[in-house]
C-alpha cells in the first residue's frame, strides 16, 4: 500500500485510508493503544492530523478499523490456505490442518504489529475492542470445529466422540495457536514454520508420541 510521496496529494481516498491504517496498526502494535498518538500516526502516514480525523473520526474508530482489517486479513489467510490445499477431494485432515496452521503462523510472523493489535491491544483495552476480536476468534473456532468434525466423522464412527468433544478440541487448538504465535513473535529466531511444526506435533502426533520420539511430519 506504500506509494511514492510525490503523488501523495492525488491519491484516492481508499488508498490514503489504507496508508493511515498501515501507520495506525504499526503504531498501535508497537506502542500500545494508549501510548499511541494521532500525531505520530498522521506523521507516519504522511498526512495531516485533521485528515486522519476526517477519514476515521476518532482514535477509537481508527483502532476499531485496524482491528477489523487485521482480523479479516488473518481469517482470510487461514481460510484461503486450507481451501487451496483441499482443492482436490479427499485431502487428508492432517494436510488441511497443516496448511491452516502454516498460514496462521506465517501471517502472524509477517504481520507482528497486526497480531499485537489483535491478540494484545484489542483485548486489553476494554469494549468495544474486545468484542471485535472475540467475534474474529469465534469465526476461527467455528472454522476449526468444522475441519476437526469433518475429519472425525470420516475417520471413525465412535458415537461417544460427539459435537462437544469436537468443539472442545477446536477451542484447545485455537488457544494453543494464539499462545504459540505470541511466543514465536517474542522469541528471537523462532520461524513461522517452526511454530507451525511445534503445534502440529502437539496436536497431531500428541505429546505421548513425541515422548517416544515419534514425530508428525508434513511429508509422511
Q: Which residues bind its own copies (CB under 8 A)?
A: 33-34, 93-94, 97, 123-127, 130, 148, 151-152, 155-156, 158, 161, 164-165, 167-169, 171-180, 182-184, 187, 190, 194-195, 198-199, 201-213, 216
Cβ 16 to its own copies, closest distance in Å?
30
Q: Cell for 98? A: 497443516
Judged by beta carbon, residue 103 or residue 144, the one nearer its own copies is: 144
Residue that has been written with the C-alpha cell 482514535 in this structure: 59
CA distance 108 to 78: 11
Contacts of 196 (CB under 8 A, 6+ apart): 98, 101, 102, 104, 105, 106
Cβ 220 to its own copies, closest distance in Å?
10
Ramachandran sector of residue 198 (left: φ over 0; alpha: ψ -120 to 50; beta: rest): alpha
Cβ 204 to its own copies, closest distance in Å?
4
Judged by beta carbon, residue 45 or residue 98, the one nearer its own copies is: 98
Judged by beta carbon, residue 58 or residue 183, the one nearer its own copies is: 183
Cβ atoms of 151 and 173 closer than 8 Å? no
Q: What angle do CA 174, 178, 181 make, to 5 degrees?
A: 135
Judged by beta carbon, residue 12 or residue 188, the one nearer its own copies is: 188
Judged by beta carbon, residue 136 or residue 195, the one nearer its own copies is: 195
Contacts of 123 (CB under 8 A, 6+ apart): 129, 130, 133
Cβ 193 to its own copies, closest distance in Å?
12
Amino acid at each position: 500500500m506504500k506509494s511514492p510521496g510525490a503523488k501523495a496529494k492525488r491519491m484516492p481516498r481508499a488508498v490514503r485510508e489504507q496508508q493511515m491504517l498501515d501507520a495506525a496498526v504499526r503504531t498501535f502494535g508497537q506502542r500500545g493503544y494508549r501510548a499511541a498518538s494521532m500525531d505520530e500516526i498522521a506523521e507516519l502516514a504522511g498526512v495531516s492530523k485533521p485528515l486522519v480525523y476526517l477519514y476515521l473520526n476518532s482514535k477509537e474508530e481508527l483502532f476499531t478499523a485496524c482491528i477489523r482489517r487485521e482480523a479479516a486479513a488473518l481469517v482470510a489467510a487461514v481460510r484461503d490456505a486450507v481451501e487451496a490445499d483441499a482443492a482436490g477431494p479427499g485431502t487428508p485432515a492432517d494436510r488441511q490442518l497443516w496448511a491452516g496452521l502454516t498460514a496462521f503462523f506465517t501471517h502472524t510472523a509477517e504481520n507482528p504489529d497486526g497480531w499485537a493489535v489483535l491478540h494484545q491491544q484489542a483485548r486489553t483495552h476494554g469494549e468495544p475492542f474486545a468484542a471485535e476480536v472475540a467475534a474474529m476468534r469465534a469465526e476461527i473456532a467455528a472454522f476449526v470445529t468444522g475441519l476437526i468434525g469433518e475429519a472425525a466423522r470420516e475417520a471413525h464412527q465412535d458415537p461417544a466422540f460427539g459435537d462437544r468433544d469436537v468443539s472442545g478440541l477446536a477451542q484447545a487448538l485455537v488457544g494453543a495457536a494464539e499462545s504459540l504465535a505470541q511466543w514465536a513473535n517474542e522469541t528471537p529466531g523462532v520461524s513461522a514454520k517452526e511454530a507451525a511444526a511445534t503445534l502440529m506435533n502437539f496436536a497431531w502426533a500428541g505429546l505421548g508420541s513425541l515422548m517416544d520420539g515419534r514425530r508428525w511430519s508434513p511429508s509422511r
